[in-house]
């Protein structure tokens, strides 16, 4: 629309678009607004709308992910998760255990990661495990513990939803819902989540192309949930040394193609705790909007993903490296956690 377009001109156009069988989505930025149009209506008639007053120009989008595309929205979207802004000027660090295992484990971790600078807490309640014999998560009990951790620390919580049947109950607890890599193309789940206003962390599938990833995001946007954050967590490659291959080029490419904020999960990307800090630094240097990192009080005893989980000191050291990029690696004592954990959770 022209900068000078009036409200009645905009409303007239929106109605007209609907009449022609399309769906309009409005985007307001600082000095102008655009109407994104999707659907399979009468496109010949649609073209005539460029003559209506208030219209600047009609631009056909070349990407199949129309709403996720930067052609639709020039500025990177900022997604607010209970006051934490993902996509803004500051990089966001989300940390916590792979799985919620016990009250003590979760609360200790929440306090430790907050003390070191994390602004959100992660923790799996329902776990997508490769083997049915592995720990599957504590379910509702874990959700209750996450709630308690939020009350204790004030950190918003993100947890994975695996099934459309769990969406209702989980959205009562979570500030952000994670769609795990294995579920990126679970379209029934995406359609259900699109009906919420809860922010979604959409992980890239292990074998998904960038286009498929953005089209999965498109399901959420087209269905009405605009609060989508992308997360690169490593893809399948031929290497056997690491769990996955972190595709940082995809982060840079998705950044160009889409206005959605993008996070990086170096824990699942590598499967190795010794590499998590380096890849977090690389992700932030590249312009990722934040990192999602697994932390456990005692990684050797973790019920899932121990080898890639940092302990508290390891996480604090990583945070030190991220916030002081021009200084050498912190000595282990530099950021000792001063909070008395036992006292805080008693
Ligand atoms: C997780 O975050 O613990 C997880 C299972 O992630 P992903 O879906 O990326 O494997
Ligand atoms: Mn995990």
Q: In Å, how far from its chain's centre is CA 3? A: 32
Which ligand is closest in space to the CA of residue 178?
1
Cα of 232 from ligand 2 centre, angstroms: 14
**What is the model's pLDDT at position 261?**
98
**Spatial distance between the Cα atoms of 46 and 105, rounded to a whole number of angstroms:** 58
pLDDT of residue 140: 97
124 CA from centroid of ligand 2 (Å): 8
Query: Residues within 5 Å of ion ligand 2 by Cβ?
Result: 98, 305
Alpha helices in the chain (DSSP H): 7-19, 43-47, 103-116, 140-153, 167-173, 187-193, 210-222, 248-257, 266-270, 273-286, 312-323, 341-345
Classify strands 33-38 and 228-232 as parallel, antiparallel or unpaired: unpaired
Ligand at shortest distance from the CA of 159: 1
**pLDDT (tens digit per residue) in 72-121:** 888 999 999 999 999 998 999 999 999 999 999 999 999 999 999 999 99
Residue 258 DSSP code: B
The pLDDT, as a whole number, for residue 33 is 85
In ligand 1, the atom with minimum distance to the C-alpha of 127 is 5
- How close is the Cα of 181 to the center of ligand 1, in Å? 6
Q: What is the pLDDT of residue 326?
A: 56
Residue nearest to atom 6 of ligand 1 (CA): 180
Query: Does residue 33 sit in helix, strand or coil?
Result: strand
Three-state secondary structure readout of 181-240: HHHCCCHHHHHHHCCCCCCEEEECCCCCCHHHHHHHHHHHHHCCCCCEEEEECCECCCCC
Q: Give me the pLDDT at residue 43, please.
A: 86
Are the beta carbons of 200 and 182 closer than 8 angstroms? no
Tell me, using a 6 A CB cutoff, whether residue 98 lines ligand 1. yes
Residues of the chain with pLDDT under 50: 327-336
Q: Tell me which ligand sits closest to the C-alpha of residue 179.
A: 1
CA distances from 228 to 33, 50, 92, 203, 218 (A): 20, 30, 15, 10, 9
Bridge partners (DSSP) of residue 312 are: none
How far is the C-alpha of 174 from the C-alpha of 81, rounded, in Å? 10
96 - beta bridge partners? 294
pLDDT of residue 78: 97
- Name which of 120, 119, 118, 127 is nearest 98 in CA terms: 127
- Any atom of ligand 1 within 6 Å of the Cβ of 227: no
User: CA 106 to CA 298: how far, in whole Å?
Assistant: 11
| Whole-angstrom distance, CA of residue 288 vs CA of residue 274 | 20
| Residue whose CA is at the smallest distance from ligand 1 atom 4 | 180
pLDDT of residue 340: 63
233 in contact with ligand 1, CB cutoff 6 A: yes
Cα of 329 vs centre of ligand 1, distance in Å, is: 28
Return the residue matching tokens 């999707």: 38
Closest Cα to atom 9 of ligand 1: 181
Q: Which atom of ligand 1 is nearest to the CA of 178?
A: 2
Which of 98, 126, 130 for a ligand 1 pocket mutation test, highest count of atoms within 8 Å of Cβ? Answer: 98
Q: Exposure of 305 by Cβ count < 10 A (0-12 exposed, 13-18 middle, 19+ buried)?
A: buried
Question: For residue 126, is it left (φ>0), alpha (ψ between -120 and 50) or beta?
Answer: beta
- In the prediction, which pLDDT does 60 show? 87
Which residue's alpha carbon is nearest to atom 10 within ligand 1?
Answer: 181
């Amino acid at each position: 629309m022209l900068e000078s377009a009036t409200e009645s001109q905009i409303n007239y156009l929106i109605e007209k678009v609907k009449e022609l069988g399309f769906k309009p989505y409005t985007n307001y930025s600082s000095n102008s607004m655009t109407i994104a149009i999707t659907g399979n209506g009468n496109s010949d008639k649609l073209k005539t709308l460029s003559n209506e007053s208030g219209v600047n120009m009609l631009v056909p989008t070349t990407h199949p992910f129309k709403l996720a595309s930067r052609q639709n929205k020039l500025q990177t979207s900022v997604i607010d998760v209970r006051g934490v802004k993902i996509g803004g000027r500051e990089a966001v660090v989300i940390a916590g255990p792979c799985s919620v295992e016990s009250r003590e484990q979760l609360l200790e971790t929440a306090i430790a990661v907050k003390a070191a600078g994390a602004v959100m807490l992660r923790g799996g309640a329902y776990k997508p495990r490769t083997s049915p014999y592995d720990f599957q998560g504590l379910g509702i009990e874990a959700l209750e513990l996450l709630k308690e951790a939020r009350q204790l620390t004030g950190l918003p919580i993100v947890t994975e939803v695996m099934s459309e049947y769990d969406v209702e109950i989980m959205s009562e607890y979570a500030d952000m819902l994670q769609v795990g890599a294995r579920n990126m193309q679970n379209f029934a789940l995406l359609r259900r989540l699109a009906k919420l206003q809860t922010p979604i962390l959409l992980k890239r599938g292990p074998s998904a192309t960038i286009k498929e990833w953005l089209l999965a995001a498109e399901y959420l946007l087209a269905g009405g949930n605009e609060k989508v954050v992308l997360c690169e967590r490593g893809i399948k490659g031929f290497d056997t040394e690491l769990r996955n291959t972190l595709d940082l080029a995809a982060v840079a490419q998705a950044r160009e193609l889409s206005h959605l904020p993008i996070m990086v999960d170096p824990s699942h990307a590598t499967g190795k705790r010794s590499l998590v800090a380096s890849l977090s630094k690389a992700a932030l240097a590249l312009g990722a909007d934040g990192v999602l990192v697994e932390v456990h009080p005692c990684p050797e005893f973790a019920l899932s993903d121990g080898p890639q989980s940092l302990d508290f000191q390891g996480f604090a050291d990583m945070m030190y490296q991220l916030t002081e990029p021009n200084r050498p690696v912190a000595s282990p004592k530099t950021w000792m956690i001063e909070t008395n954990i036992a006292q805080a959770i008693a």
